[in-house]
Structure 1
Amino acid sequence: MKAVTLLLAAAAFGVQANHDEHESHGHGAHEHGHGHLNLVLDGNQLMLELQAPAADLVGFEHAAKSDEEKAQYAKAMAQLKQPDALFRFDPSAGCKLTQQELNAAKEEHDHDHDHNHNHKKAGSNHDDHHHDDAGHADVGAMYTYTCEAPTKLTGLEVTLFSVYPSLEKLSVQGILPTGQTAAELTPSANKLSW
């Protein structure tokens, strides 16, 4: 079942990313203030995949450099590790978090070229060496829940707007036992029913 769930979620995300790429003329799914949530309910497992611009979840998109930025990054990652503050389900469904995975923008750049070259040479300016060609970074998280009574799971309330106030909308796509669903949630319309 778990493999099927993962495949369905990946397919749903792929369709969304492809759709967004065509809609925004090649800029991909990255739009400040706009996140994406994919969900799959398969048997008693619910999987949520959240993806949003780092600017909205962390406050910036570059590698954390100062102590203040590193603290801000750590706080954002800690918040993502607390999905109960981001999503609410009907308690009678008995959904318990069984697995979570963060896919965060890297704190430090990682690439394969040698850093032992001499930066003191005339004309050498390492600060001009850009590691993020696109200039955009997304942060994501995947949460898997096991629900005791999945038939009582008839919706979800997205409370992450209060945690990440610069996030203005969330495009949702889901695969449910009853079929597919899609919605756009906002801070004032943050509930999805199925």
Structure 2
Amino acid sequence: MKTMKQLCVLGSCLLVGFAASAASASDAHEHGIAELNAAFEGKRLDIMFKSPADTIVGFEHEVKNEAQHKQVIAAVQQLRDGYQNILLPDAALCILKHANVEQALVAMSDDHDTHEKHGHEDKHGHDENMAASDDHDHDHDKHQDHGGHSDFMVEYTFECQKPKELNSLQVGLFNHYPALETVRYQAIGISGQKGGEVNSATASISLK
């Protein structure tokens, strides 16, 4: 799993600040409102997405029954699918190299907590090695504050073979989570840093 310090090496220290503020700013926890930070440098695009658990699965407490357990596991698996959640221009030929999901509702079993590499073929016909990991057992309360709020934190790393074609990204998460109303974002691209917010009708974020 990439650490926040490793992400900072790219010059993308905005992502580090985002992770730190996400851990401490419980007053910023708003249902239906998520945060996304993107940093694009060279061929690499790093994305961090943070959402209230209620927006993703409809509750924020630790699971109380098998149905809720399955619901969280399904959400973790869906959130790992960066190709569905972050839509990038086909011309940029981007491969998902890393996907990580953290949450505090379920202590993931060893089957979900490994760093195995799987050979995949992306939509452009390239082989990929994507490390998917969930480090919940290390700190189960990391994404749950004292007020009972809980979050999902997601990290993606894409490698794009034609970075000049990567001029924007579409937030596909709106297609999977109806309770997600707004995504507030900050992005570092070729032309510098910018920020704003998008919704399901205006889901495009410019990277130039």
Equivalent residues of 2:38, 2:188 under 8 A apart: yes
- In structure 2, relative to structure 1, the CA distance for the partners of 1:170 and 1:111 (3 Å cut) is closer
Tell me the residue number matched to 1:124: none
CA distance in 1, matches of 2:20, 2:91: 32
CA distance in 1, matches of 2:178, 2:104: 19
Identity of aligned residues (%): 32
The one of 198, 204, 207 aligned to 1:185 = 198
- TM-score with structure 2 length normalisation? 0.73
The residue correspondences of 1:1-40 to structure 2 (distance < 5 A) are 3-5=8-10, 7-13=12-18, 21=25, 27-40=26-39
Q: One-letter code of the match for 1:175?
A: I
Deviation at 1:16, TM superposition (A): 6.5
CA distance in 2, matches of 1:91, 1:97: 13
Equivalent residues of 1:41, 1:175 under 8 A apart: yes
- TM-score with structure 1 length normalisation? 0.78
User: What runs of 5+ residues in structure 2 fail to find an aligned partner?
Assistant: 1-5, 108-135
CA distance in 1, matches of 2:12, 2:94: 21
The residue correspondences of 1:1-194 to structure 2 (distance < 5 A) are 3-5=8-10, 7-13=12-18, 21=25, 27-108=26-107, 133-193=146-206, 194=208
Deviation at 1:17, TM superposition (A): 5.0
CA distance in 2, matches of 1:79, 1:191: 20
Deviation at 1:12, TM superposition (A): 4.7
Larger-gyration structure (1/2): 1
Tell me the residue number matched to 1:116: none
**Secondary structure, in 3 states, of the residue corresponding to 1:180?**
strand
Deviation per CA, 1:83-104: give whole Å up to 9, x if none: 1111111111111001111121
Q: One-letter code of the match for 1:40?
A: A
Deviation per CA, 1:122-165: give whole Å up to 9, x if none: xxxxxxxxx96311001011000111011110001111112011
- In structure 2, relative to structure 1, the CA distance for the partners of 1:17 and 1:139 (3 Å cut) is closer
Tell me the residue number matched to 1:122: none
RMSD: 2.8
Q: One-letter code of the match for 1:63?
A: E
Query: Number of matched residues?
Result: 170
CA distance in 2, matches of 1:39, 1:147: 14
- In structure 2, relative to structure 1, the CA distance for the partners of 1:90 and 1:110 (3 Å cut) is closer
CA distance in 2, matches of 1:6, 1:140: 21
Equivalent residues of 2:8, 2:15 under 8 A apart: no
Q: One-letter code of the match for 2:63?
A: A
Q: One-letter code of the match for 2:148?
A: G
